[in-house]
Amino acid sequence: MIHLAIFGMPEWIPILIIVVLLFGAKKLPELARSMGSSVNEFKKGMAEGEKDGKKSASDAKISSDGAPKDH
């Protein structure tokens, strides 16, 4: 059986210490902002992809002679 590792507080503490040591306390807000904007861009891309998927699905319902098919 596969056991999925879920991070608890004891695992996060060393990770946070390493991040602070690597980037420094002054760079952390900038890093957080850039990660937030990356997540927002990813969500926008997913929404556009979903919209394009719905559009292509509706285009597939049109027959080869250009007339819409009956449902």
- Say which DSSP state 64 is in: T
Helices (H), the chain: 9-23, 28-60
Distance CA 43, CA 41 (A): 5
- What is the per-residue pLDDT for 42? 94
**29-59: b (≥16 Cβ within 10 Å) or e:** eeeeeeeeeeeeeeeeeeeeeeeeeeeeeee
Global pTM? 0.49
The low-confidence residues of the chain, meaning pLDDT below 70, are: 1-5, 57-71
List residues bridging with 68 in a β-sheet. Answer: 62
- What is the per-residue pLDDT for 33? 92
